[in-house]
Chain A
Amino acid sequence: MATATHNPDWQPKIVALVCTYCTYTAADMAGSLRLQYPPEVRIVKLPCTGKVDTIHLLKTMQAGVDGILVGGCEIGDCHFLEGNLRARERVEFARALLEEAGLSRERLEMYHIGASDAPLWVERVKQMVARIRELGPNPLRVAGAGGETAKTDQAAA
């Protein structure tokens, strides 16, 4: 596994693209409730996950983050009716494009987390961090920093 070969000091960088109406509120509440969750997640607040474009997801991975978590409203609860459903489809499309380019589709995931569900946010973040630790660093970052021959996720796994 990739975990065996990468730098032990490596800490994953995960970007969370979250909807202000649900997941962002849940994350905020997790803070108020003093719930502990891994610090590797950087939150970007969006008016709706429907704002996420496929190119944002690809460019973010290209910039070297190790994983992306998209947090949208529960199915049927979108403030804009179906922004979260559209985001889901785009995330699936982006996963396919990333895989085609040689990165693991597992680095990108969408979760549905209601505004009042702080514990679920914590659980999903933990889950994503564990998954990315398992996958290891974004091979693009390895290639960029060390100048060593990059491996695709498939080849590394």
Chain B
Amino acid sequence: MNKFQEALKSGKFVVTAGLAPPRGVNLDPFRQRLDAIKDRVEAVVISDNRGAKLAMSSLAAGALARQQGSEVICTLNCRDRNRLALAADLLGAFALGLGNILLVSGDYLSFGDTPAAMPVFDLDSVQALKMARSLENGQNGGGQELDGAPQFCLGGVANPEAQPLTPQVMKSLKKIQAQADFLITLDVYDLQKLAAFAGQLGSSEVKLIAGVRLLGPGDLASQAGGNPPGNLIPQDLLAAFAGLEESQALELGRRRAVELIQELKAGKAAQGVYLRADCHPEMIPEVLAAAGL
């Protein structure tokens, strides 16, 4: 059992942070960021061509991160690989010591840098979870035997702020039915919604890890410039950021993320936090430190 799995099991507040693999083969910034956060988190969530934008393979980056002493959760999406490739990657992940896997359907290609590529979506995230569990039972997705079975800690994505919420709850319940160990949420803005969502998941053992996004000018610009995937930054927050200098905006974003993490930790809705700071990943350590983590 690795550090992340132990933390999940222990019932303590689980701290994770997101990091994108290098977009290229220069590993230095990635390695520096890993070193800066590894003692503050239970696992680093390594994204998989997030936003449909090219980055180094999540498994390769995850393996490098582990060699360097960081526990990781590797994301695998269903957009870029069919069920055969997904199963092969899962076996390979386990062999490399990457037992924590976040299975997602994947942001649609039109959001990214390769919009003309073929969208695969052979499996959806629920079916992918189920297939990964069948690997653990020593069978491929079609029921044929494997030579040696892997063991995973598997997660999915959920959105407590989706409108309407009930179809989203149904989907999350299916992920629980497929034996997901944890659900990482999209960016949380309203803790009441998070609590309401958690309440609808019933008596399941699944751990809810709440997504917190460190907002900065880059995030505001990306929303103003179009239609980014995921939850939009709410109007009242946009208003609070309006007219601020870059440094002031970063400070407000930092303060807000710290407060949100503290509230999450004090509350009961979520069993952990997933901090992402796509525009300023270098700020992750100071936000976690300020939040007392």
The answer to whether any beta carbons of A and B sit under 8 Å apart in the complex is no
Q: Which residues of A contact B (CB under 8 A)?
A: none
Q: Which residues of B contact A (CB under 8 A)?
A: none
